[in-house]
Structure 1
Amino acid sequence: MKKALSVIIPVYNVESYIKECLDSIVNQSIGIENIEVIIVNDKTPDNSMDIVMKYADKYPSFKVINNEVNMGLGESRNIGLKHVTSDYVTFLDSDDFISLNAYEDALNKINENNVDLLIYRWETYSMGEIVQTNNIHHQFLEENILIDDINNYPKLFFLTSAWNKIYHKSLFHLLKYSKGLYEDNCVTCNVLLNAKRIFLSNDSIYYYRKNLDSITEKISKNNVIDLCNVISQLYDLNNHNVNILIINFINDVLFWIYYYDWVICDELTFVEKLQKVSKKIKQSDVEKFVFLFPEWNFYKEDILNLDNYDSETFLAKYKYYKRLPKVKSIAGLYVDEGNGFSEDCRIDVVYVPKLKNNQLTFDLRGYSNISGIRFDPLEGEFIKSRINNIKVIDANCDNSINDDYQYFLTLDPNFVLDGEFKDDKLMIDFDLEFITNEELASLFVEKNAIIAEKNNIINEINHKDKKHRFNFFK
């Protein structure tokens, strides 16, 4: 009998997670007898397949395909697609799992709404619990939505993963994944553009495991080159909304170039590659990106000027001449237990600054009799900032602590906070902006004028004092 749905699961080096993955399949509310499970053994070197075979021996729905050599995730998906016999297919990565109602609920919605693509919610899962992620591709679905024209929902082009979707057979011919990294981006965008009706479901969940040992967590030369190739392929789709996604990927490549320590020749190669694949960036596309993601930090000036310099000049100007504050930064909390603020009682949190509502939590366990707290939002930059949830009693700012924002013309900005601080954890909600060159120049002119005026007063007083001291010469 024809199955209701085919699930393709490439398997490689996941013996710690594969059981949880397969259990979420065999316990689906739709019944395992209605699911065609296609396991593609990508020449895994561990004991994953020993676990898989126990399921395959028990459930006739399982098909096992063995790659003779390691092919990678994209090619393994392509191989699995050749064995699909149902009208619908989905993918499940072997270290992830899904909610037990996912397939029944999804297929019901597909049939009720006559859609050829369904996208369901996904959550990031790590160390036994759901975790919040700062990920532009994680678009939160608050309600079920039926879509007839994808271009009315430009943010959906950021849902580039292959795995949280169910595809009708009319879209199978588009599912041709590449060999490199980021194999699903172009395929997914092409599918979104060609699907006639799309349903966004909030009623079932794909659990994506955040695995720090994953290849996508370790940035290498291949990451840079492969994402540049993806950028080139995305331009071929010739869609104005896809261009917004391209800007994000250009930003990702620039982030890697700036943040990681490469040898100069590699950095030059990366910039040249990025310049080659990136067509002239339109100001209108950048403005649309800002409109869609107003709180997302990205290298607007750098992107717009990518083609205006040779690679060496670009690197000098945008990596080495400026410190780049949009990469990971450190906020520090100093705890005073009666002996003042010192480095011995400092707690650091690494974060990526954003304009509004940075929310950082500091663990105060281990500190007793706290008499004061000092918060340093960011070091090494001239900033304006404000604390939203705790009263400030002092700050080394250049204006009043009662102003809307505090302006810091010091590279070591700090706030002294008011409170009893008896809880184990302290959450600080703050806004932060980097002072522009124009603002900085204006502020320093004003500051220098004040300093000059004070110096004139001091000099005049000193001059009068000297005249008074030596008046016996008269």
Structure 2
Amino acid sequence: MKLSVIVPVYNVEPYLRKCLESLANQTLEDMEVIVVNDGSPDGSQKIIDEFTADYPKRVIGLIKENGGQASARNLALQYAKGQYIGFVDGDDWVDTEMFETMYNKALSEQADIVICNTMDHYDDHIVYHRQSDVGKLRKCGSVCNKIFRKDMIGSVRFPEGLWYEDLCFGVKLLMQTEKIAYCEEHFYHALNRQGSTMNNNNSKKNLDMLTVMTDIVDYMHEHNLDDKYGYDLEYMMIEHILITSINRVSEQKNPDKEKIIRELRNYVLKYYPNFQSDKAFKEFKKNQRIIAVLNGYGLHNLSKILLFIKKKISRG
């Protein structure tokens, strides 16, 4: 089989039909869609049953107790038969030619990983992301715009019970190969909605980023990759922790947020106490460098004001 696409499902009933329609109608032949109901209490299973009945040669349904998105993906990896593996979230959708184009690209360039561009859909606007514009390990925000050669995945799995499992899984695989190909089309459509991991008020779970980063550091040590990817690691820590995570937590109303921000900041400073003098820091845009420095010195409330002003100006 050419390709397996894994779809974890939990409380996405209003969006699931659109997602599965985009996968059932893929132009690529000889592919399977493994849909895992992760103990979803809504009506998602009824929709899954419809698609397994209507597309018995393409859509496979699995049911498990709730354990989180990572556990659902890990279960499906045990059953996947495809030469390449892809992932789609149950509230997102893809263009119908996405996987045929990416699979053909993998064959023509003998690639272990193929990456396409993405679109983030908000209530009132769309943000386009071009993956080939960023450095190798920084392409890892999501696994959903990628296909991975199954043989290279090996024993690598998503860390269960944590947020940011995509980052952990994807970075490990990206570190394994230089055979990476790109599709310039914006094939993947991500729905940004309230209640998602990135839109929440659970400050403490943002500390999962530190667990994930530590796992990546340990993986680099174990495979003697420190010299090769140490620069990229510093960039990721600045981007994902010092900028993104702290900015996200500072917007929340959780009473523990100041303590959480302090832990996030101290983690980066433990590894890079003089980050603002390093080459990786200087690669960021000027406004990002300002935010990183402010957050690094505990001035995240000032960062929040600057970001609010920037957003108001950009929205007109």
TM-score class, shorter: 0.7 to 0.9
Secondary structure at 1:28's aligned position in 2? coil
- 1:246 pairs with one of 237, 255, 259: 237
Render the CA deviation track for 1:434-458: whole Å, top value 9, x for unaligned: xxxxxxxxxxxxxxxxxxxxxxxxx
Q: Report the CA distance between 1:299 and its aligned residue.
A: 2.5
Query: In structure 2, what is the equivalent of residue 233 of structure 1?
Result: 215
Per the alignment, in what secondary structure is the counterpart of residue 85 of structure 2?
strand
Aligned Cα root-mean-square deviation (Å): 2.7
Aligned CA distance change for structure 1 residues 247 and 50 (closer, same or farther; 3 Å):
same
Task: Pick which of 111-120 and 230-239 moved more.
Answer: 230-239
Distance 1:216 1:169, change over 3 A: same
CA distance 1:103–1:121, shift in 2 (3 Å): same
From 105, 111, 115, the counterpart of 1:115: 111
Rounded Cα–Cα distance in structure 1 between residues aligned with 2:155 and 2:182: 20
Deviations 1:68-88 (A, max 9, x none): x21101111100100011211
- Please report the TM-score for the alignment, with normalisation by the length of structure 2: 0.85
Give the drift of 1:9: 0.5
Equivalents in 2 of 1:167, 1:223: separation in Å?
Answer: 28
1:12/1:41 contact within 8 Å kept: yes
Provide the TM-score with structure 1 as the length reference.
Answer: 0.58
**What SS does the aligned partner of 2:239 have?**
helix
Give, in whole Å, the separation in 2 of the partners of 1:140 and 1:85: 27
1:172 and 2:153 are equivalent in the alignment: yes
Distance 2:120 2:191 in 1: 6
**Change beyond 3 A, Cα 1:217–1:285:** farther
Q: Partner of 1:56 in structure 2?
A: 52
Question: Which residue does the alignment assign to 1:271?
Answer: 262
Deviation track 1:373-418 (CA, whole Å, cap 9, x = no partner) reads: xxxxxxxxxxxxxxxxxxxxxxxxxxxxxxxxxxxxxxxxxxxxxx
Looking at structure 2, the residues matched to 165 and 155 of structure 1 have their Cα atoms a distance apart, in angstroms, of 13
Find the partner of 2:120 among 119, 124, 137: 124
Separation in 2, partners of 1:109, 1:269: 43
Residue aligned with 1:327, SS: helix
Structure 1 residue matching 2:119: 3-state secondary structure: strand
1:291 counterpart (276, 280, 283): 283
Answer whether contact 2:114 2:183 (CA < 8 A) is retained. Answer: yes
More strand by share: 1
1:65 is matched with which residue? 62
Quick check: 2:35–2:61 contact (8 Å CA) kept in 1?
A: yes
Q: Which 5+ residue runs of structure 1 have no aligned equivalent? A: 143-152, 306-317, 331-349, 362-474
The answer to whether the Cα contact below 8 Å between 1:124 and 1:208 also exists between their aligned partners in 2 is yes
Q: Distance in 1 between matches of 2:157 and 2:268?
A: 21
Residue from 24, 38, 51 that aligns with 1:26: 24
Which 5+ residue runs of structure 2 have no aligned equivalent? 221-225
RCO (CA 8 Å, sep 6+): is it higher in 1 or 2?
2
Q: 1:206 aligns with which of 188, 197, 200?
A: 188
Equivalenced residue count is 302
**Structure whose residues are more often helix by fraction:** 2
- Pick closer, same or farther for the CA change 1:171–1:219 going to 2, 3 Å: farther
Amino acid corresponding to residue 63 of structure 1 in structure 2? I
